[in-house]
Amino acid sequence: MAAELHLHLEGSVPAADLGLEPYQYTGFSGFLQCFKSVVQCLNTPEDYARITRALLRELGHAGIDYAEVTLSAGVVLWKGQDLRAVFEAIRDASAGANILWHMDAVRQFGPSAAMQVARIAAGYAGAGVVSFGIGGDEKTGPAEWFQDVFRFARDRGLRLTAHAGESDGPGSIWQALEIGAERIGHGIRAIEDAALVSHLARHQIPLEVCLTSNVLTGVVASIEEHPARLLYLEGVPITLNTDDPAIFGTTLAREFQIAREGLGFTDAELEQVASNAYRFRF
């Protein structure tokens, strides 16, 4: 069995299920546009419930017995939809499954939009929602904007994560840690800062690494240049994840295979990486 900690609900939907052409994009901004085209097909709470049921079937086929799944809650509000109704449809659709939900705000929409997400997420703390965080464009929505929002969420019992160090550098990761992120989504550009690498290792702060995602969005030039194993060898706890399995055309098993064949992880190392997903779950 396996667990996954960085998995976006909307990125798990096959294009054909939405009546879209096969996903195509170039670079990180192209990927964000592609993700946007998916969310624009999700118009009702039932649409979200339907893709949740499909995701649960996929997780079952993949032998994943625990997942923390991200809902791009900030995008739901941005579309003018009722986030509570959407989440309750999702929660009902996933009742009985061993998954917990993460609500993400969108960095570039700013702190007041993020606070709206946090308020609603806090209403479901301990009732399906385990964590709150930020994703989107690190460069136009720096983590320091979200200090008050993160404090609000933490005070109400939510755990904290941030996408950081994916398209922007180590400074973005330091900022995410300063506002209280307990896990870092991606975080791979930590490799550019030796002090940050030793901080992550010393404090055992895990990175949610998504290999195929990083290659296809162009944040690393090729799998061979991916720093995941270097980070691992420095003692940084890493987990492997699919991020958006339908958009990136991958599975969790495939990510482990790529780590073995493309990065030289040994089977013993990969066992430890796999166990990290349980060790660092919320």
- Which residue ranges make up the site for Zn ion (CB under 5 A)? 243
Catalytic residue among 10, 138, 166, 208: 166
Minimum CB separation of residue 244 from Zn ion in Å reads: 7
Return phi, psi of residue 33, to 5°: -65, -40
Residue whose CB is nearest to Zn ion in the complex, by number? 243
CA–CA separation, 15 and 37 (whole Å):
10
- Beta carbon nearer to Zn ion, 243 or 255: 243
Tokens of 153: 């969420």
Minimum CB separation of residue 42 from Zn ion in Å reads: 17
Distances (CA, A) of 105 to 124, 136, 144: 15, 8, 14
CA–CA separation, 160 and 95 (whole Å):
23
Minimum CB separation of residue 267 from Zn ion in Å reads: 27
CB atoms closer than 10 angstroms to residue 265: 22
SS3 115: helix
- Beta carbon nearer to Zn ion, 25 or 198: 25
Per the DSSP assignment, residues forming a β-bridge with 125 are: 129
- Beta carbon nearer to Zn ion, 111 or 133: 133
- Residue 122 and residue 155 in contact, taking contact as beta carbons nearer than 8 Å: no
- Beta carbon nearer to Zn ion, 32 or 202: 32
Minimum CB separation of residue 35 from Zn ion in Å reads: 9
Q: Which amino acid is at 195?
A: A
**Residue 144 catalytic?**
no
Minimum CB separation of residue 273 from Zn ion in Å reads: 18
**Region of residue 134 (left: phi > 0; alpha: psi -120 to 50; beta: else):** beta
**CA neighbor of 206 nearest in space, from 276, 136, 157:** 276
- Beta carbon nearer to Zn ion, 7 or 89: 7
**CA neighbor of 83 nearest in space, from 54, 22, 124:** 124
Q: Among all residues, which ones are annotated catalytic?
A: 166
